[in-house]
Structure 1
Amino acid sequence: MAGSTGGGSSSNPSPAPPPPKILLAKPSSGPLPGKFARGAGEDENVPHRSRLPPVGSLNLLSDSWDFHIDRFLPFLTENTDFTVVGIIGPPGVGKSTIMNEIYGFDGTSPGMLPPFAIQSEEIRVSARHCTVGIEPRISAERFILLDTQPVFSPSVLAEIMRPDGSSMIPVLSGESLSAELAHELMGIQLGVLLSSICHILLVVSEGVHDNNMWRLLLTVDLLKHSIPDPSSPMLSHPQSSSLGPEKESRDKLHVGAEYMATPIFVHTKLHDQHLIPHNVVHLRKALAHYFSSSSFMREKHRNIAKCITDDNVDPTLLSSFIPLKNRDDSPKAQYESYISTLWKLRDQVLSMACPSFSRTLSEREWLKNSAKIWEL
């Protein structure tokens, strides 16, 4: 499979157990038991409510911004042929819709809920967001999909802010921070994690240029260099759980080739003028120039950097351009439809030859080591 960590089936000589049942729909929300209960009669829209996902959620991040694996681990196997796809972007740009498409969800099937909840009109007008933390799913093709909470999100900021302006979430080892700073750091942490543990990272923006997302990616690139990939042997060392002196630990973990997920820049809600071939080429050139000195354009992306200045470059090589959804209804539409561009993006991700981790590891090892990377 393209983008896999290599290898085939598990080396265990005994017959492989059947893979866990794949969870399609997001579990329904229910009352939170124990210490997370807020009272039976409390309005769910009360400010400063707990951010903890409902019981049954597979979320990888807890209410205290800690990484936990217990809920998702049973869905993973000792299979070593898998691909991890993460996504990051601001609110309302279609991240969950894109992930549902990559998963292969058929919205025409009666009674089936999408694996990733999408923003309803009610949620949109109330300025809220669907995804909290990191919601994982795994497809039949063993694609591990990571949908994340939005960055640059006013609703996330409002949710973590105390009346005095401080953050409810201890983003940095319990250190007290302002909500604004904690909110910014949360986006950076998500970006660094995804670029470390994913094979493919979808960077989604609305419209043509999104300087905030581009700056975020450069910050991620700057901070990523001290973080290993999840196959690093040092993460499996017994002493790795005791990180010791920070610099010494990071230096040891940094041994080996630098790893960076392959990015695909996805631009959504585009108008016809944005899809004119000349403008598409211009945008790709701007991206290549902006990230020319980053790890995203190093040797393993040399072909992208070379071809991106060619007017005949394949439009799916580095970027994907998705028009407004309602443009499909126009009989005068000149360019590809919303549906066809989503299909093209899915085909690109499923067939993409992206770099492997430094060594072969299983799905379960990947998750356990991802938790250790989060600690860094």
Structure 2
Amino acid sequence: MSESGHSQPGMYGQGRRRRRRRDREPGPPGQNLSGPSRDRDFGPRERRDGSEDPPGPLLQKTPIILAKPPGERSKQSAPVSGTSLEKPIMLMKPREEGGKSAAASDTASPASGPGVAKLEREGQRPTQPVYQIQNRGMGSAASAGAVDPVIGQTKLLPPEKMKHSIKLVDEQMNWCDSAMEYLRDQTDMLVVGVIGLQGTGKSTIMSLLSANTPEEDQRAYVFRAQTQEIKERGGNQSSGIDFYITQERVIFLDTQPILSPSILDHLINNDRKLPPEYNLPHTYIEMQSLQIAAFLFTVCHVVIVVQDWFTDINLYRFLQTAEMLKPSTPSASHDSTGSSGQDDGSEYYPHLIFLQNKARREEFCPRNLKNMHMVVDKLMAHSHLKYKGTLSMLDCNIFPGLERDYLGTEVNLFLLPVLENDGDEALTRAGSGSMPLFSLLPGYRGHPSFSSLVSKLRSQVLAMSRNQLSHTILTEKNWFHYAARIWDGVKKSSALSEYSRLLS
């Protein structure tokens, strides 16, 4: 009994030592450093079911945490002066205690719930994740810097096509901002303006150069032409300056007629009040025309002077006066001179094209054409405007038998015949009894067709050199602001005010 009694406590003591040894099993790293070293002395451990652990170190699964480290979260939450940070998009949400569903917590806070912030402060990983897909830019929790996919696709679309012209300067000579929405931040543009007397066909020419063809109905032109009623009344169709830009980024500016008698008649008969700096109505009309011409000479690459008969001396005197009163172009810091030795490098001058519209058959005669070039060259001899050397009818194969040096001093002169359809012309001949000799062949006109000549003119105008309008390269939007500043400077010009005082 005594031996068994002494052995009993030893057995119980040995069992206690095993339990203590089992309690010293290695825990998480960093908590129990003595466990693995003590277990190494006794070999493999025994499990409660009698099996032994496999030899070798224990492999633990690395937890995957779908959250940013606390350091980055603190940096993101810290406010930065002058910048607006986006809200973080939470992809995981815990299920709240008390049996509430995650959908209920969504309604309380669409972007992040209070349970998520609490668990993040405690450094724990949220359980039972609920994955969400948020439509950025559409919901109430959209961030300010998020880009809408629809807007991103819109930026890749081609520029919007204008259906008709809009006002750049209204009839009251006030600047309009409606053209700004059609302009872009790109520099490859060409600006073409037109001036001319009343009824010469300025709007028709600009429509044919920009977006229309001679076969279309004139009521569908982008620049409205004179209707038959306005022609019978002797009125004018255009007022102010009209704006149109093509998808090829060519800006066309159609203007009201210069020195227009219909505008003067409308001003007198409707008792419109004159600005205080003008005393007489005809002085005000002439100064309006000079303001428009001086404005075009500053902001356009090409200016087309349209006339329907050759030639008016007063028109050339008007062009030289507008050139004298045009505002000075901002120059670069360094001194530059042009190739001709004049101040062409510091002062900008556009290309000037004389367009003889509604030309008759005899004006296409080579001898008459040479005389017309000589007259224009003599009248514009003292002008700095680029009125020669950039457009040629001889390059269009209109006069195939003429040599290049036939015209001598060739100016920028182009001839267009009267616009009429072939069907109307055939009916006119049939009604007058003058049928052509061979009915199957077209009648002799003395010049190519109107549509072919317009096409050749358009190709030469669009091929004009695009010199810098100022000392910096302008985008389309910068050109708009530059043109608005020039127009305001033209209206307040001291030189124009002094000239109007001398007229009155």
Counterpart selection for 1:345 from 457, 465, 486: 457
Q: Is 1:333 the counterpart of 2:445 in the alignment?
A: yes
- 1:138 and 1:145 in contact (8 A); partners too: yes
Counterpart selection for 2:406 from 311, 331, 345: 311
Alpha-carbon distance, 1:294 to partner: 0.9
Distance 2:182 2:349 in 1: 26
Q: Is 1:364 the counterpart of 2:503 in the alignment?
A: no
Tell me the residue number matched to 2:137. none
Alpha-carbon distance, 1:17 to partner: 5.5
| TM-score under structure 1 length normalisation | 0.71
Tell me the residue number matched to 1:22. 161
Whose radius of gyration is greater, 1 or 2? 2
Q: 1:62 to 1:303 in 2, by over 3 A?
A: closer
Tell me the residue number matched to 2:99. none
Q: 1:313 to 1:119 in 2, by over 3 A?
A: farther
Tell me the residue number matched to 2:169. 61
Query: Which structure is higher in RCO with an 8 Å CA cutoff and minimum separation 6?
Result: 1
Tell me the residue number matched to 2:149. none
Counterpart selection for 1:193 from 295, 310, 314: 295
Alpha-carbon distance, 1:359 to partner: 2.4
Alignment of 1:166-315 (within 5 A): 168-170=273-275, 174-224=276-326, 226-228=327-329, 257-297=346-386, 310-312=405-407
Tell me the residue number matched to 1:38. none
Equivalenced residue count is 300
- Matched to 1:337, the amino acid is S
Tell me the residue number matched to 2:415. 321
Alpha-carbon distance, 1:100 to partner: 0.9
Alpha-carbon distance, 1:111 to partner: 11
3-state SS of paired residue (1:72): helix
Counterpart selection for 2:250 from 143, 147, 160: 143
- 2:219 and 2:225 in contact (8 A); partners too: no
Distance 2:190 2:444 in 1: 39
Alpha-carbon distance, 1:66 to partner: 2.2
- 2:258 and 2:289 in contact (8 A); partners too: yes
Distance 1:107 1:297 in 2: 29
Task: Name stretches of at least 5 consecutive residues in structure 2 with no aligned partner.
Answer: 1-151, 334-342, 395-403, 427-442, 490-504
1:207-232 Cα deviation digits (max 9, x unpaired): 111212211111112112x4226xx6
Distance 1:277 1:72 in 2: 43
Distance 2:218 2:298 in 1: 36
Q: 1:292 to 1:100 in 2, by over 3 A?
A: same
Alpha-carbon distance, 1:256 to partner: 6.8
Q: 1:346 to 1:314 in 2, by over 3 A?
A: farther
Task: Name stretches of at least 5 consecutive residues in structure 1 with no aligned partner.
Answer: 1-13, 27-57, 235-253
- 1:327 and 1:337 in contact (8 A); partners too: no
Q: 1:157 to 1:149 in 2, by over 3 A?
A: same
Alpha-carbon distance, 1:255 to partner: 12
Distance 2:211 2:171 in 1: 30
3-state SS of paired residue (2:200): coil
3-state SS of paired residue (1:284): helix
Distance 2:301 2:156 in 1: 26
- Matched to 2:472, the amino acid is R
- 1:206 and 1:269 in contact (8 A); partners too: yes
- 1:117 and 1:130 in contact (8 A); partners too: yes
- 1:327 and 1:333 in contact (8 A); partners too: no
| TM-score under structure 2 length normalisation | 0.54
Superposed CA RMSD:
3.3
Distance 1:155 1:228 in 2: 33
Q: 1:157 to 1:220 in 2, by over 3 A?
A: same
Q: 1:341 to 1:212 in 2, by over 3 A?
A: farther
- Matched to 1:335, the amino acid is H
